[in-house]
Structure 1
Amino acid sequence: MNPTSTPRHPDRFKLGAGDPIPSSSPAFGTPARPFRMQKTSAPPTKASILPILLPPSTLRPVAFRTFTRKHNLTISSSALQTLAVFVGKNCGSGWREEGLAERVLDEVAKSWKRAGGNVIVEEGKGASLKSILQTIEGSMSGGRVVAGKANPQDASARSLGADLDAGRSEPNSEGTRAGGAEEDDSKLPLHPRHWLKVIDAFDLPRLTYNVDKKYFEAIKSKPTLFPPPAHKTALFRDRYNLVYQRLLRNESFQSSLSFSGIPSLQRSSSNLVAQQSYKLTPIANLLGRSGSSHLLLGLLSISPTGDLTLVDLTGSVVLDLSHARMIPEDGAWFAPGMIVLVDGIYEEEEMVKGSVLGGNSGVGGTIGGHFVGVSICGPPCERRDISLGTSSRQGTGEVSSSGGFGWVDFMGVGSERAQGARMRRIQEKSLKGEPEAMEAPPRLKIVVMSEVNLDNMKTSDALRKVFTTYNDVALVDRPQTFVLIGNFVQKPIINGGGRAGSIEYKEHFDSLAVVLSEFPALLQHSTFLFIPGDNDPWASAFSAGAASTIPRQPIPELFTSRIKRAFATANSELDRSQSSEPAGEALWTSNPARLSWFGPVHEIAIFRDDISGRLRRTAIDMQKEGEDDATMHETLDSATSDAVSVAPEMADQANKTKSDIISPGASAARKLVKTILDQGTLSPFPLPVRPVLWDHASAVQLYPLPTALVLADSEVAPFCMTYEGCHVMNPGRFLPDGTSPTVRWIEYDVFRSRGKVKEERY
């Protein structure tokens, strides 16, 4: 080696060819600095944020403005705590001055809706708030969300979630929808039968009203046919709580200014008019107040001693209704098992049934003395839009006392606040029809037939007459749904006596399949729904046609195979490649059942039961024999005149003369409808009279009111009427009693919410 030459660099000290700055002393082999070797891979510096401790109460106004007012979401306390920790950690002290918190919360709300989250933002079965916050945290810099900085996997997951939940976003305050749902709605099927959902009673959400939190919550326990005894008590307690919270929102029971000592239940057109509200007295508070007037809300029941009593959550008292007047006069039924309002006077007695006063009295038990009723009426009904909080009743001068339960999913199809606005837009599009297939907008009709006795030889001819009537009309005028309600046999099956039982029952449905096969056009374009009665299997096997437990299971598939085959054959003959209409089908469901059209927009409840006969057998008689009604009415008129307005829609009926009533049948129909809707349940009876499965009691409640109710009562003449916005229909008997061959049914228009009784000769 030449000693005068520059020594070579060791391999470990060689500089990269791309290094623009060589060693400071090549002659001595000075190595390159380490930071020069790592220049190309060093990450950019991230803006530092000093975390702060942000109390949830301080963040609540911003969260309310962003989640509730802008995105129509409700945030739970636990979710607010999680967001407060997240904002304090990632936004620091600039969360308010620089508006960082509002931007982050806006992004969280959009991500929650894109992921298909519920209206209530909380950790649950739906979207995960923690996952959303983890994704957003990875895309934040300096307290701000940087677009395109999130991980590709997270971005693809969010995109996939948005595609899977297309169309489920709800409208915001500007009238637009997050996640591009407007484009997705244009691709959705617009035929009305695509949006029909038959909801079995056993599939309905099991909800209970939480008195402390004042909202509905799901029952977490698994339903069973053998629940603990506490569930029986909860059944009536939930009914009472529902009526009680509904009653307190009525204007007549709300505090207001008063310039007069005379109370009035008459609703005023202005909230500035003074009136004194009615106040409810707990039964336990009657002790020591003998001779005073009170208004009680309680459950009518029969005590073990045979006395008629009124029971609430605090105790019970013996009722004396011998001088009471019904409000309105003969306008409703009152029977044990119903919740009623009783106005009267409490009277103490020193000896009650041989017991000293106070010996058996106290909170939770029967108090001494008795309550002399002056007037009795049912709790006022509440309209559906008020219960859901969808109407402010502007223009009428009335103040809405809405409970605002629009975020509760009562049917399992989405709540009013989450899906109502979107489903109404889809309904408007479906009303325009499909220009390629229809020349006129579709009319959504339902044909309802009750007491279709297949073991009657005349029923087949009557069904042919009805099917021929609709088979010959244009496609747009054909019913979308045919509802056939039992009893499908006149006598209960499998009850002994040498009858064929199930074999004979199946033959009846096989003969029905033959009749249906004659009308393939109806089988191709309509949905047929079958609802059982008390004589249908399998409950009739042990009840022999008596009142069995409700809700009832559908008719078993053992008897339905031939009808399903008829539908399959008819649909196979029609080419649907150029049409978006779904195939016709036959569905068997429970009793009662619900029909949902366009989500929560249209709810139709169907129930088969002879309610009127059970009411006549169990109703209480409040008049003494031989008592002069006119004299009693004059005596009690001043004491009960104000209570008429508790049910304002029915108050006019109390003042009508006999000539104003159209017929006894119409009066009986009004009486039945008011009784059922005011009670808010399809079975306002004690359990021995009408057994109800304890764990499925929410399936028979009518809160909020459905848009339509089918009360299939064979003992009442057919009728159609509207009460508090709920259209109630009774098809009566499919073949009415008489010598003339006549068939009756109801045709219901869903969009117009109006039914019509049809009658034809066959």
Structure 2
Amino acid sequence: MATSRRPEKPSAILENPIPSSSPAFGTPVHPIPPRRTAPIRAPPALKPAPKPTILPILLPPATLRPLAFRTFTKKHNLTLTSSALQSLAAFIGRHCGSGWREEGLAEKVLEEVAKSWKKCGSQVIVEGDGDTLKGILKALEGSMMGGRITPGSGPNSRQASFNFGADASMQDVSVGGSRPGLESHTSFGMSSLEVEDRDEEEDLLRDPREWLKVIDAFDQPKMVYNISQKHFEKSASKPSLFPDPSHKTELFRQRYHVVHQRILRNETFQTPTFSAARSAKLNRTASAATQATTITPIANLLGRSGTTHLLLGMLTVSPTAALSLSDLTGTIALDLQHARPIPEDGSYFAPGMIVLVEGSYEEDYGNHAAGSASALGGTGGIGGTIGGKFIGFSVGHPPCERRTTSLGTGSDGADKSLTPAFGWTDFLGVGSERATGTRMSRLASKLLPPTSAHNVVIASDLHLDTPSTLSALKTLLRTYSPDPTDLHPVYPLAIILMGNFSSRATLTGVPGAGSIEYKEHFDALASVLADFSQLIAHTTLIFVPGDNDAWPSAFSAGAASPLPRKPVPALFTNRIRRAVAEANREVWGTGKTKGKEGEVIWTSNPSRLSWFGVHGELAILRDDMLGRLHRTSIRFGQSEQDGEDMPDTSAIPQAGESQDAMDIDLRLPDVNTIRTASSLTIDPDLHTARALTRTLLSQSHLSPFPLSVRPLHWDFAHSMNLYPLPTALLLADSEAPPFVVKYCGCTVMNPGSIEEKIGSGKREGRARWVEWDVGKGVGVVRTEG
């Protein structure tokens, strides 16, 4: 039987296993020729670009110095050391070659390095020996091609952000032993308020209260002045309530360093140039030109008996009850029998203050003892008591320095060489002037228009155990409560209520001043606040304690307790918090709010209130300063030519203005002048306010007293500093008259007691407080009732 044979497939199908493009419709199969193996030529655009070659050159550091100085110092306020300049010259010569100047390659590299140095959290001094600059140059080397920085790949590109930690080449960069992360950025104030623009978030923050921040004294960063590098740096040690005994001396040494560096930048103490105009301004007489502008260390007085000098030191009382002057080199006994204060009867001088004394040294050749130690840390020999005495001719406070000058933002035509580079220093932890100042000023101009009022209300001595005080508080709250018919009510940004919250020291065993009564007083205050729910739901309540408040009053019995002190414990204030929370629920409801809810803050004494970061700062202190000054200040003898106009021949300078050139708020209702037949006499209360203001601001410290007079916590004494000067100072002093005075650009306010006394009695419901306009920088003492 013959087998059937299947027909063979065409050879084309066997050679090409690819089936038909449409087998169901029987389309014929078309053979596909085999692919050629010839290489495909790449398009010209995809060819790898030839890497340009750079011929390295040997660039001397001296040749690069002018360009580096212009970029680092003039533009970025950085100081370049010789080692850093040598490293930069070697790097630019190796990677930029001969085109470093003509093509502008070196300028771009220097600009990138300067920006990276700041963002790395380093200090003002650019050093080439550390790992910081080496890490920056290593990261920059990987992003350079042909002497140019590749766009989008440099250390300052948006992908690199502010932290070099993500870059493998920067993992070893460290500043002071720490990785350049968030902590190092904080020293320049670049992380707390986020320097990058946030347009979407700014659109949501339409309430200026969003930019108010209360800085507790125990949370304020501790900045230490480095005398070798001439700048402030953050303390590496953590503050403690039980510090090492050496910190007590360091407290006064830091005060001296701050005042000393401030004085040396004053024009009076600069070396005269060949300019005849400036030499005539600085030198009063040709014979005293050198002595009038030079501060002599106390140790250098030895062997110079009979010569005239200008000393800077702290007034102290020696163990023999004699008045002395101490600096970092030694101590000298003072003879102020014929000394004249500058200005006359215009400030206070007390032990613990740093002053300028001009006079003559008389050496005691029979006394070679140098036994007692200097108050600022010296011990024996140089640093001990210098034999003899210093006969003072004139005594004055160090000249004050404006805030704009300290931060380097002044535009008053001052000599830029005398301007400190403290604009990058973040003193409060809210941002530095150079990093966030421009953006914060822009926000402040939007949210604080000059056409409307943005007030901070301040009241002091709120004695809750006195019924008349609560009546005065109701008058204050009623003044700022809106009218129900008002469609656009205006609320104060904050209401600051300051102690003492009890007229007697609490928790001291006195009947009626125990813990139960103390809590009941705050419960009564909560009941008063609950009657003004609309007001407290639209403002911020800030409470600052006094010496009679818990807990320090339990062991101080109302005496001066150590500063700074903690806020009033929450054990006594819970009902006030509940009253504010209930007001928020009543006013705002549970839905989405259109503004910031009311809040209550219990802060320390002293504390700071800042608005828009570094744009504004209010220093707050509750202390009876005037009474302490009256008890401890030095009384000078009457001048022999009393009643006659004596020319001012002293070498002690003033604060850049005349002695009595204080700006007084014209709206202050208590400013009165008494005309006599011969002259115009200032009101005594106003004269006291001026003297108190000049004393505190010139000392740049809230407590210029010995620790025996006003105790301080040694490690937290930095919160008492007034350098740079704040925008305003709130000094709640019950013994001083209420006033608003402006000196060297700083407004000093004292609200006095909230109960206004009329003659020898009080009027029920009459209140007195200070109203401070944040936007305009104007304060006024107000009375109602």
TM-score band w.r.t. shorter chain: 0.7 to 0.9
Deviations 1:375-422 (A, max 9, x none): 21111111111122211423xx98883224222211111111111122
SS in structure 1 of the partner of residue 272 of structure 2? coil
- Matched residues in 1 for 2:451 and 2:531: separation? 28
1:746 aligned residue (770, 778, 783):
770
Partner of 1:234: 250
SS in structure 2 of the partner of residue 227 of structure 1? coil
- Matched residues in 1 for 2:112 and 2:35: separation? 46
| 1:96 Cα deviation from its structure 2 partner | 4.1
What one-letter code is carried by the residue in structure 2 that aligns with 1:463? L
| 1:730 Cα deviation from its structure 2 partner | 0.3
Partner of 1:371: 390
What one-letter code is carried by the residue in structure 2 that aligns with 1:590? S
Partner of 2:150: 146
**Structure 1 stretch 461-470 or stretch 56-65: which is displaced more?**
56-65
1:248 matched to 2:253: no
SS in structure 2 of the partner of residue 649 of structure 1? coil
Partner of 1:303: 318
Change (3 A) 1:481 1:155: closer
- Matched residues in 1 for 2:198 and 2:86: separation? 33
SS in structure 1 of the partner of residue 686 of structure 2? helix
| 1:147 Cα deviation from its structure 2 partner | 3.9
Kept after mapping to 1: 8 A contact 2:369/2:385: no
What one-letter code is carried by the residue in structure 1 that aligns with 2:543? F
Kept after mapping to 1: 8 A contact 2:358/2:650: no
What one-letter code is carried by the residue in structure 2 that aligns with 1:256? P
SS in structure 2 of the partner of residue 368 of structure 1? strand
Deviations 1:166-205 (A, max 9, x none): xx99xxxxxxxx9983856864624211111111112222
- Matched residues in 1 for 2:734 and 2:93: separation? 66
Partner of 1:19: 37
Change (3 A) 1:249 1:468: same
Gaps of 5+ in 2: 1-33, 165-180, 187-193, 373-379, 663-673
Kept after mapping to 2: 8 A contact 1:680/1:701: yes
1:102 matched to 2:107: yes
TM-score (norm 2): 0.78
| 1:740 Cα deviation from its structure 2 partner | 2.0
After TM superposition, the structure 1 = structure 2 runs for residues 426-575 of structure 1, keeping only pairs within 5 Å, are: 426-432=443-449, 441-472=451-482, 475=488, 477-497=490-510, 499=512, 501-575=514-588
What one-letter code is carried by the residue in structure 2 that aligns with 1:607? L
Deviations 1:79-133 (A, max 9, x none): 77776676566545544454333334545667788x796895989xxx9988876
Partner of 1:27: none
Change (3 A) 1:18 1:186: farther
1:408 aligned residue (425, 444, 449):
425
- Matched residues in 2 for 1:580 and 1:684: separation? 46
Deviations 1:312-368 (A, max 9, x none): 1111111111221211111111111011111222222344xxx45779884211111
| 1:68 Cα deviation from its structure 2 partner | 5.7
| 1:637 Cα deviation from its structure 2 partner | 4.0
- Matched residues in 2 for 1:156 and 1:416: separation? 25
Change (3 A) 1:630 1:642: closer
Change (3 A) 1:121 1:673: closer
Partner of 1:757: 781
1:205 matched to 2:221: yes
Gaps of 5+ in 1: 1-15, 23-35, 170-177, 269-273, 433-439, 624-628
| 1:748 Cα deviation from its structure 2 partner | 0.5
Partner of 2:169: none
Partner of 1:696: 716
SS in structure 2 of the partner of residue 525 of structure 1? coil
SS in structure 1 of the partner of residue 386 of structure 2? strand
Kept after mapping to 1: 8 A contact 2:499/2:622: yes
Kept after mapping to 1: 8 A contact 2:292/2:651: no
SS in structure 2 of the partner of residue 651 of structure 1? coil
**Structure 1 stretch 475-484 or stretch 78-87: which is displaced more?**
78-87
What one-letter code is carried by the residue in structure 2 that aligns with 1:146? T
Q: How many residues align?
A: 687
| 1:587 Cα deviation from its structure 2 partner | 0.7
Kept after mapping to 2: 8 A contact 1:266/1:645: no
Partner of 2:654: 646
Deviations 1:119-173 (A, max 9, x none): 95989xxx9988876765554433333346799xx97565999xx99xx99xxxx
TM-score (norm 1): 0.80
**Structure 1 stretch 540-549 or stretch 563-572: which is displaced more?**
563-572
1:225 matched to 2:238: no
Kept after mapping to 2: 8 A contact 1:263/1:278: no
- Matched residues in 1 for 2:318 and 2:682: separation? 39
| 1:562 Cα deviation from its structure 2 partner | 1.4
What one-letter code is carried by the residue in structure 1 that aligns with 2:627? G
- Matched residues in 2 for 1:55 and 1:501: separation? 77
What one-letter code is carried by the residue in structure 1 that aligns with 2:609? L
| 1:74 Cα deviation from its structure 2 partner | 3.5
- Matched residues in 2 for 1:194 and 1:607: separation? 23
SS in structure 1 of the partner of residue 463 of structure 2? coil
After TM superposition, the structure 1 = structure 2 runs for residues 62-73 of structure 1, keeping only pairs within 5 Å, are: 62-66=67-71, 72=76
Change (3 A) 1:751 1:286: same
1:420 matched to 2:437: yes
Partner of 1:191: 207
Kept after mapping to 2: 8 A contact 1:79/1:122: yes
1:326 matched to 2:341: yes
| 1:449 Cα deviation from its structure 2 partner | 0.5
Deviations 1:226-248 (A, max 9, x none): 22222111111111121112112
What one-letter code is carried by the residue in structure 1 that aligns with 2:527? V
Partner of 1:682: 702
- Matched residues in 1 for 2:52 and 2:274: separation? 63
What one-letter code is carried by the residue in structure 1 that aligns with 2:390? F
1:671 matched to 2:687: no
- Matched residues in 2 for 1:18 and 1:146: separation? 41
| 1:632 Cα deviation from its structure 2 partner | 4.8
- Matched residues in 1 for 2:222 and 2:332: separation? 32
| 1:555 Cα deviation from its structure 2 partner | 1.6
| 1:292 Cα deviation from its structure 2 partner | 2.1
Partner of 2:597: 583
- Matched residues in 1 for 2:213 and 2:135: separation? 32
Kept after mapping to 2: 8 A contact 1:119/1:418: no
- Matched residues in 2 for 1:257 and 1:51: separation? 43
**Structure 1 stretch 131-140 or stretch 473-482: which is displaced more?**
131-140
- Matched residues in 2 for 1:320 and 1:314: separation? 19
- Matched residues in 1 for 2:280 and 2:256: separation? 24
Kept after mapping to 1: 8 A contact 2:544/2:602: yes
Change (3 A) 1:58 1:419: farther
Change (3 A) 1:565 1:252: same
- Matched residues in 2 for 1:398 and 1:136: separation? 36
| 1:548 Cα deviation from its structure 2 partner | 1.0
1:606 matched to 2:630: no
What one-letter code is carried by the residue in structure 2 that aligns with 1:410? F
Change (3 A) 1:229 1:51: farther
Kept after mapping to 1: 8 A contact 2:152/2:159: no
Deviations 1:263-316 (A, max 9, x none): 988799xxxxx9985222221222222222222111110111111111111111
- Matched residues in 1 for 2:421 and 2:608: separation? 22
